[in-house]
């Protein structure tokens, strides 16, 4: 039952959004995320093409599904506008179990390092833990 509820919540959260241009706030959030992710590129991580962005607020996190491969290492980096005083990134397996990650946090930016032991779908939750509704951008790096 717990897995079914997680799956239903995930389906609702990851429903396709209409195609639209990024707002100035989303562009600024992406800039912050890229600044943080740049540090990981110094360690040999490559940025994945693409990003996810939108708005989130306290109590209403965003969930993003990604396919990851065992043997790779990943860093998931989120940047947000200043209204979000503190943000967090959490990685879950396909059953909704939180994975152990190497965390990084700095005001309106956060990251989680993760090396899966099994290939497959994983879910990345980004959330505002302190502050107000804000625009965000999530990018990830791999090696």
What whole-number distance in Å separates Cα of residue 142 and Cα of residue 1?
33
What whole-number distance in Å separates Cα of residue 29 and Cα of residue 54?
10
Domain covering 2-12+25-142, topology: Jelly Rolls (2.60.120)
Give pTM, 2 decimals: 0.82
Q: Evaluate if residue 15 carries a pLDDT over 50.
A: no
**pLDDT tens, 44-57?**
999 988 899 999 99
Containing H/E element for 8? helix 2-13
**pLDDT tens, 95-110?**
999 999 999 998 899 9
Range 80-83, long-range pairs (CB < 8 A, 24+ positions): 80/29, 80/32, 80/56, 80/108, 80/109, 80/128, 80/134, 80/135, 80/136, 80/137, 81/25, 81/28, 81/29, 81/108, 81/134, 81/135, 81/136, 82/108, 82/134, 83/131, 83/132, 83/133, 83/134
């Amino acid at each position: 039952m717990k897995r079914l509820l997680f799956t239903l919540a995930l389906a609702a959260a990851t429903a396709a959004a209409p195609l639209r241009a990024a707002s100035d706030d989303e562009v600024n959030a992406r800039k912050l995320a890229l600044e943080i992710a740049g540090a990981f590129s110094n360690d040999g991580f490559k940025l994945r093409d693409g990003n996810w962005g939108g708005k989130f607020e306290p109590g209403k996190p965003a969930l993003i599904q990604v396919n990851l491969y065992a043997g790779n290492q990943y860093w998931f980096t989120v940047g947000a506008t200043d209204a979000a005083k503190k943000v967090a990134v959490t990685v879950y397996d396909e059953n909704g179990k939180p994975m152990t990650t190497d965390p990084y946090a700095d005001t309106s930016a956060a990251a989680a390092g993760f090396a899966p032991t099994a290939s497959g779908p994983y879910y990345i939750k980004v959330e505002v833990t302190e502050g107000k509704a804000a625009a965000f951008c999530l990018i990830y790096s791999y090696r």
